[in-house]
Structure 1
Amino acid sequence: MNKVFVFGSINMDLVISASRVPNAGETLYGSQFFTNGGGKGANQAVACAKQGTKTYMIGSVGKDYYGSILKKSLKEYGVNVDHVCEIDDVNSGVAMIINVDNDNRIILNGGANLADKGEVAIKTIDEISVKGDYLICQYECDLDVVFKVLKHAKKNNMVTVVNAAPAIKYDDMIYSYIDYLIINQTESEILSKVYPQSREECLEAFRFFEEIGVGTTIITMGSKGSCSKSKNEEVVFVDAKKVEAVDTTAAGDAYIGALVSKLSAGCDLKMSMDYATKVAALTVMRKGAQSSIPTKFEL
């Protein structure tokens, strides 16, 4: 089994439920407040590690209370945190999440995630990775740094996976360094101007990403499941599992981590997507981010 490296965001999630979003100048009472480790990078690393894959988190936290808790939590989930830096004079990343009717509104402060310059990631890739290992990145860190790390990973013959979230228009050259691009419908619309719902719309989005250099594009579509397209291959569709959602916070990250775990173990794309769909379905049935992601023994 190949190793998986995740270069990305590490946040503390501050979560509260409310009946609605308050208006300007208004104070509302909330309920069910809790904190837990989050950030797309950290969530994906935890999801991968929980499936039994050797997973390395590369990123930054502040040298503060949240930073120490976040590193400890990742380690407890089985993620290697030897390459997570603690940065002076900058806060750890924080996400303030308001949950209304099981739908989240999020305000994000990137903190240390945006201060990471990628030097540790490049050094770690050089020292530990081997041909065929996987690197996962997202767009919650400085995109110039993400691009630099991706290029270095490809130079070292790694398989690159990018979750382009939050979706941000960037230099199209980045796509030629992406083996697997994973996005949802909204992200597809921002990046390709196609909001895929039908087979034809999926094909239109796939054509766009294929033409600018992506190897394989995977689009998640919520209750409609997911679909993928690799160069010179047929489109693959996987149905969603019908479950009652309690908290969707980490669903996408659980899907990505589980998918890459299976790919790194040598499974084909369809099998990996099927497995990731099951992991995501179980995740939304529980509250929390990393704590809600199931292990391989629960599948």
Structure 2
Amino acid sequence: MFFEKSKMEFELDFLVTAIESNNFSVGFYLLKVYEEEITRNYQRAVDALVKSFQQSSHYLKAKLHMTKMMLTLFNFNAAKELLVILQFSFNDSSVEGNLFSSSNNPLLAMCLLYELLIEIIKKFYSLNNYCKSLQSKILNMAKLYIDSVDDENFLTTVLLERDFSGRDSLKIAIDLDLLDLIQTPKVKAIIKRIYYSDYKQDGTLYEMSTTYQAVFGNKEITPDVESDFNLLKKREIESRPQSPWMYEVFKESMNSRIIGIGLISGVYVILTCACYEIVTTSQ
């Protein structure tokens, strides 16, 4: 990469320029390599990303993916401004103002946007009603789009096109429990078609092996399960209740004693009955 060869120090202007010029391949690279530098001084990059939704509808999938990556850096005002831009776009009936008009896969973009709104709700719950309203509109548009497609092969291709994280529209819809979308007749027919292997699926039998995925799988897509059990990782334990079977708790807790005595008594009664049954039958 040019930055590494020239040994230039990273500046936030590089990322801002990449976003403003819709050069998201460079933007993703900068986010990955200079994450710490961007985290320390991120506001201008967030503002540029939000405004990019207003400037044009091109590269929507890349914008949504980058927004999801940078959502932890968003403050309330930035999230609210993004929702206002999305709302304005949904209310615009012209082709130029339609948010999904330049997307080669509007259905995938709708699913990604629906998912992004869920993440915004988790971060800013006060925007819940705003996001729910947009989600309802997105779901209606997705159903209208599906109904408008008559070619089953084309719709199957659209549903199985993957995003930057390796998920297709069908996978996202299932993960988000979008039953209104999944249970439409055309989507149900495609699901049955895939289930009965009428549609070609890329891959081999070896790829179903966990060992194969651990050695040859894409590490950027496959989550690192062991990272959650790292002993050096900081853990939040304040909100977790203590186990009643911890020795120090058991000594002080009457409830734990009652449960313990009850279990011991139950085991004693069962063993006594079993022994009595054995003795009586042997006589």
Q: Same fold judged by TM-score > 0.5?
A: no
Q: Which of these two proteins has the greater Rg computed from alpha carbons?
A: 2
TM-score w.r.t. length of structure 1? 0.28
TM-score w.r.t. length of structure 2? 0.29
- If each structure's helix is expressed as a fraction of its own residues, which one has the higher value? 2
- If each structure's strand is expressed as a fraction of its own residues, which one has the higher value? 1
Bigger relative contact order (CA 8 A; separation at least 6): 1
